[in-house]
Chain A
Amino acid sequence: MTDAHAEQDWRAWFAEHGARLRLIARQWTRSDADADDVLQEAFVRFWKHQRHLPGDPNALVVTSIRRAALDLHRRSDRRALREQSVAADAEVFAAFEPEADPRLQALARSLPSLPAEQREVVVLKVWGDLTFEQIGEQLAISPNTAASRWRYAMEALRRLVTARTYE
């Protein structure tokens, strides 16, 4: 990842990471519009105030996104974050570019079928580029629990992709 500590141009950094950050924001919001709002608020906060802080800038920006999503939930006076943020929303993973490879198509269509708590770990690991330890900190679970969810998610995805590829 480009070092946000040294990067002076937010456009270049956002052009490189904006898509995956939006996917992460979408994971904790109920609509695309909410995800855009959360991403904008979180990125501004990160770029103005947090990117020079010590530590992994990737983890910092993910934390900023999660905090902005929490703030949005509080402002919206909705139900608890856990019920809201990882709601089984079938549209969550519709935000991928179309793929020619049938296996990748099947994978993209299979992701929404995962239990929300497993899908959350998958998104943070693959597109958030976080370790299990960092995922545990984000979600207030142990690294072992995060790893278990990842393992269950991979097994489920393998079954789903295999079934869908040969449909």
Chain B
Amino acid sequence: MNNEHSDLESALRALRPRAPGPAVVAGLARELDAPAASPGRGRVIAWFSAAAAAAACLLGFLFFRQADEALAPAYQLVRAEQPPAAVDVFAPLRLDDGSFVRPVRVRWSNETHWEDRRTNTKLINYSPSEQFGFIPLETY
């Protein structure tokens, strides 16, 4: 398909397009020669960037360290309570062996209060407890 026009193609290839003007080459030189022409400047920028990054890291470390110290809790125990236990006594039961017991449930709680006067914050620890048991009954 192409061979029949090979003479014409050869003639076309013999035509010489005009080269771009000097303005194009000058524009390319501005864009492409700039980094290579000033390697020292790039090195300075790299060093400056590294120094700035290191300084930022140091400042950040100091800031957060101080912030951590300032925000560290310093709670002190100010009160501990154990209200009277609640005792529930239930109706007697007869066990399988024929003996009698009375079920008893005891409920109580422990409560401690902590306070950080510097930050005026309180920490209250409340822990309820409950226990079941049987009181043996003697029958006559």
Contacts and interface: CB of A to CB of B under 8 A. Distances in A.
B interface majority secondary structure: helix
A103 B28 CA distance: 36
A76 B9 CA distance: 35
Interface stretch (B17-25, B38-46, B67-75, B83-91): B17-25
B15 interface: yes
Contacts of A11: 25, 29
Most buried by A among B13, B14, B19, B24: B24
A126 B27 contact: no
A163 interface: no
Most buried by A among B1, B8, B25: B8
Interface of A: 10-11, 14-15, 18-20, 22-23, 36, 39-40, 43-44, 47-48, 95-97, 99, 101, 103-104, 107-108, 122, 125-127, 147, 150-151, 154, 157-158, 161
Given A122-B12, A126-B12, A158-B8, A20 B17 contact: yes
B18 A19 contact: yes
B17 A22 contact: yes
Interface of B: 1-2, 5, 8-9, 11-21, 23-25, 27-29, 31-32
Given A18-B19, A122-B12, A126-B12, A151 B1 contact: yes
A164 B1 CA distance: 25
B28 A48 contact: no
A44 B12 CA distance: 28
A19 B5 contact: no
A47 B32 contact: yes
A42 to B, nearest CB: 11
A101 B9 CA distance: 16
B11 A44 contact: no
